[in-house]
């Protein structure tokens, strides 16, 4: 099967600092790939390069074979086909849940309000959040806000979903409800690239886990193999620290 | 993985165990005396303090002269109709200027926040404009516009001091308001820009639907403060002959050598500005409450 997302020797500097060093990674349709590694290893930057929230210096990233800076995508094509969810939810605090979800469909994709709201309500219902449709973000718990943010990213019916440490800002008892939605998306066949510190979750949902350090993918493998039998000494060291912290 | 499934059930069990035990001791009740005493003390001390102050002031040897000069009720009543008519001018200028300032300042702030090399001339214009009009005394601008432009007798343009004085106030206050707007725009968290961009919103759509509504909410107390200041500064137009409340009061003073008309004008200004100031306090307090809630 052709690659859905294909990252080819991407290099990125922030000023003088090299943050991505010739990274290559291919993601098949319906595949779930987790990026793990210490803070500052370049995972989030790599994720943001995929939908061009961050511009990179060298290399190319293709979506279904088309480079993500190809004019064929127009101004909005890439953003419609790739959804992203952030660590801090980044919901719009002055809009209720329904308006948060329908903003892009209505204003960017010119769908009538009635139609957009019906679609949004259907999505909320599918993820068990119908009762929050008219709530404002500040009235919701962190876990609920993050679930709304996920639904918002799904409103344009994207082909790929990027999750950037979506549980890192949550209290432990709220993580489960967010991960449940991600599992549901996996079961629906969504292609996902997930940056996470939840190793147990990565082991459970990922087809492949990539370990990043200093802007390079040092090792990638099926989670059963990578977690049980890491080959690279740096991966071993990282996982050792995770185990010592009781997080695996 | 965390044992997330187990912990809520444990909490529930612990709560039930507590609920089944003896009821908690009743809330401590303050006695009537404890509740009333602070209020009564405040009231009494205020009455005593200001009573003594009033007694000291009014028993001063010069008080009758001061009273005649500034607080003559007869003079106030006599001057009041003209002063009130003048005050109506103040209110009209204030309201028109408010609307114009809100719009013009927004344009300046938006232009200044535009990105991209093509907008450089507009950005420079906005920066220079704000520097110039914030750097000049409002009085100077009022004199310059209110006397200077009508003297040119430009064809097709109004020549009234009232019109040009109002323009001067708008140009001056818009520079301040633009900076307030800009501070509000810059205070909106970067994640909001990122979220808007990731949803495909253009720079303008992101501003219009996501950034500006939050920015205005952030700076509402500061804008209300400017509104109060503007209401008082409209009196500057009196120096170019606009017959506002202050001017009318001065005319009365010039005829009678009694300053009570100015006090009458002062009371009118207070009646208008004090409620605005209270409203500003209220909005600021509510806003602070909202932020604290959001941070928790």
* pLDDT for the residue B16: 55
The verdict on a CB contact (< 8 Å) between B200 and A200 is: no
Q: Tell me the shortest Cα–Cα distance from A200 to chain B, in angstroms.
A: 5
Do residue A86 and residue B191 have CB atoms under 8 angstroms apart?
yes
Coil, strand, or helix at residue A14?
Answer: strand
pTM of the model: 0.82
ipTM: 0.91
Q: Which residues make Cβ contacts (< 8 Å) with residue A235, sequence separation at least 6?
A: A211, A218, A219, A226
- Are the Cβ atoms of B214 and A94 closer than 8 angstroms? yes
Residue B290, pLDDT score: 65
CA B2 to chain centre: 52
In this predicted structure, what is the pLDDT of residue B291? 58
- Distance between B105 CA and the closest CA of chain A, angstroms: 22
Partners of residue A101 in chain B, C-beta under 8 Å:
none
What pLDDT, on a 0 to 100 scale, did the predictor assign at position A172?
A: 85
Note the pLDDT of residue B5: 41
**Alpha carbon B241 to its chain's center:** 26
Using one digit for the tens of pLDDT, what is the confidence trace for B9-40?
444 455 555 567 888 888 888 788 888 888 99
pLDDT digits (tens, 9 = 90+) for B127-138: 999 999 999 999
Distance CA B112, CA B125 (A): 8
Please determine, for residue B231, whether its predicted confidence score (pLDDT) is greater than 80. Answer: yes
Q: In what order do the strands lie in the sheet with A191-195?
A: A82-85, A160-164, A191-195, A32-36, A208-213, A216-221
Taking CA–CA distances from B290, the nearest residue in chain A reads A138
In chain A, which residues have their Cβ closer than 8 Å to the Cβ of B293?
138
Determine the pLDDT at residue B19. 62
With an 8 Å Cβ cutoff, are A176 and B8 in contact? no
- What does the pLDDT read at residue B3? 42
Question: Is B202 close to A152, i.e. CB distance below 8 A?
Answer: no
pLDDT at A10: 95
**Contact status, residue B245 vs residue B86, Cβ threshold 8 Å:** yes
What is residue A48's predicted lDDT score, i.e. its pLDDT? 94
Is A90 close to B195, i.e. CB distance below 8 A? Answer: yes
Phi, then psi, of A151 in degrees rounded to 5? -60, -40
Asked whether the beta carbons of residue B290 and residue A90 sit closer than 8 angstroms, the reply is no
**Partners of residue B12 in chain A, C-beta under 8 Å:** none
CA pair distance A227, A77, nearest whole angstrom: 37
pLDDT score for B88: 94
Residues in contact with B286: Cβ distance below 8 Å, sequence separation at least 6, in sequence order: none
Query: Do A226 and A209 touch, CB atoms closer than 8 A?
Result: yes
User: B199–A79: do the CB atoms touch at under 8 Å?
Assistant: yes
Which of B2, B195, B201 shows the shortest C-beta gap to A108? B201
Q: How far is A91 from chain B (nearest CA, A)?
A: 7
Q: What is the mean pLDDT of residues B94-123?
A: 92
Residues in chain A, pLDDT under 70 = 247-248
pLDDT one-digit tens code per residue, A147-175:
999 999 999 899 999 999 998 888 888 88
Mean of pLDDT values over B135-148: 93
**B189: chain A residues, CB-CB within 8 Å:** 90
Cα distance between residue B168 and residue B143, in whole Å:
9
Nearest to B134 by CA among B165, B152, B108, B156: B108
Q: Which of B194, B201, B202 sits opposite A90 (nearest CB)?
A: B194
CB contact under 8 A, A176 and B199: no
Mark out chain A residues that contact chain B at CB-CB < 8 A: 51, 53, 75-76, 79-80, 83-84, 86, 88, 90-94, 103-104, 107-109, 138, 152-153, 156, 172-173, 175-176, 198, 200-201, 204
Query: In the structure, how many helices (H) and strands (E) does chain B have?
Result: 13, 0
Q: Do the Cβ atoms of A219 and A211 come closer than 8 Å?
A: yes
Q: How many CB atoms lie within 10 A of CB B179?
A: 18
């Amino acid at each position: 099967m052709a690659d859905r997302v294909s990252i080819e020797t991407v290099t990125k500097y922030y000023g003088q600092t090299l943050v991505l060093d010739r990274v290559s990674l291919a993601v098949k349709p319906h595949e779930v790939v987790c990026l793990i590694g210490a803070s500052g290893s370049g995972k989030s930057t790599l994720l943001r390069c995929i939908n061009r929230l961050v511009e990179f210096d060298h290399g190319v990233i293709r979506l279904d074979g088309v480079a993500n800076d190809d004019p064929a995508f127009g101004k909005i094509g890439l953003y419609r086909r790739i959804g992203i969810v952030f660590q801090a939810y980044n919901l719009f605090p002055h809009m209720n849940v329904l308006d948060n979800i329908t903003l892009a469909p209505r204003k960017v994709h010119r769908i009538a309000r009635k139609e957009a709201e019906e679609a949004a309500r259907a999505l909320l219902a599918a993820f068990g959040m119908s009762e929050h449709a008219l709530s404002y973000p500040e009235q919701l718990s962190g876990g609920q806000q993050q679930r709304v943010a996920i639904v918002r990213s799904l409103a344009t019916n994207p082909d790929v979903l990027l999750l950037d440490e979506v549980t890192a800002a949550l209290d432990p008892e709220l993580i489960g409800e967010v991960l449940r939605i991600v599992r549901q998306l996996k079961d629906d066949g969504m292609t996902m690239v997930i940056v996470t510190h939840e190793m147990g979750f990565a082991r459970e949902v990922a087809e492949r886990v990539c370990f990043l350090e200093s802007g390079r993918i040092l090792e990638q493998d099926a989670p059963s193999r990578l977690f049980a039998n890491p080959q690279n000494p740096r991966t071993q060291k990282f996982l050792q620290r995770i185990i010592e912290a009781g997080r695996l | 993985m965390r044992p997330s499934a187990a912990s809520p059930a444990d909490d529930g069990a612990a709560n039930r165990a507590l609920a089944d035990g003896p009821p908690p001791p009743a809330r401590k009740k303050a006695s009537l005396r404890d509740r009333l005493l602070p209020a009564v003390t405040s009231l009494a001390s205020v009455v005593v303090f200001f009573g003594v102050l009033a007694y000291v002031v009014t028993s001063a040897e010069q008080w009758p002269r001061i009273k005649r000069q500034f607080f003559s009720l007869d003079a106030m009543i006599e001057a009041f109709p003209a002063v009130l008519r003048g005050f109506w001018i103040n209110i009209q200028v204030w309201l028109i200027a408010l609307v114009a300032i809100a719009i013009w300042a927004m344009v300046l702030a938006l232009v200044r926040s535009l990105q991209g090399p093509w907008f450089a001339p507009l950005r420079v214009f906005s920066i220079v404009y704000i520097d110039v009009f914030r750097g000049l005394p409002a009085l100077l601008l009022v004199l310059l516009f209110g006397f200077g432009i009508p003297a040119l007798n430009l064809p097709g343009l109004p020549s009234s001091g009232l019109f040009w004085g109002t323009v001067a106030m708008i140009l001056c206050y818009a520079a301040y308001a633009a900076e307030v707007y800009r501070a509000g725009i810059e205070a909106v968290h970067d994640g909001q820009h990122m979220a808007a961009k990731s949803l495909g919103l253009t720079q303008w759509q992101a501003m219009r639907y996501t950034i500006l509504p939050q920015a205005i909410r952030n700076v509402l107390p500061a804008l209300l403060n400017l509104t109060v200041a503007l209401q008082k500064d409209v009196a500057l137009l009196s120096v170019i002959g606009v017959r506002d409340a202050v001017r009318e009061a001065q005319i009365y003073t010039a005829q009678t050598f009694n300053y009570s008309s100015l006090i009458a004008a002062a009371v009118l200004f207070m009646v208008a500005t004090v409620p605005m100031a209270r409203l500003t306090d209220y909005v600021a307090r509510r806003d602070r409450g909202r932020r604290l809630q959001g941070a928790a």
